[in-house]
Amino acid sequence: VGWIDSKALYGDLETHRQSVLPQAESYVHRFGPGMILYFFGHAPISLLGDAKGDLVIASWQLPNSFLWPTGAIGHAKAPTTLVPTTKNSL
């Protein structure tokens, strides 16, 4: 893997095929094989294009808690729902 492009989005088929894959293919031509990392998961890997084997597609789950810019700590109730809490509520 010669480069990593992290995407703060869900890798649905349409976005992957129309936007992400063409961008990734241009990176492959310039820098060689690489990786797309989807922060919020992706469609089934068998349906996503992989730039003829030169692209790794990966994702991870959201963390259970976040530190907001205000200093408050938020906790995830569901994969995409964040609830701010105060430092004292931990």
Render pLDDT for 19-56 as a digit per residue (tens, 0 to 9).
999 999 999 999 998 889 888 888 887 888 777 778 88
Measured CA to CA in angstroms, residue 21 lies from 5, 58, 68, 69 at distances of 11, 14, 32, 32
**82 pLDDT band (50/70/90 cuts)?**
very low
What is residue 83's predicted lDDT score, i.e. its pLDDT? 41
Residue written as token pair 């094989």:
33
Angle (CA) 24-59-85 rounded to 5° is 125
**Where is pLDDT greater, at 50 or 4?**
4
**Where is pLDDT greater, at 68 or 25?**
25
pTM summary value: 0.62
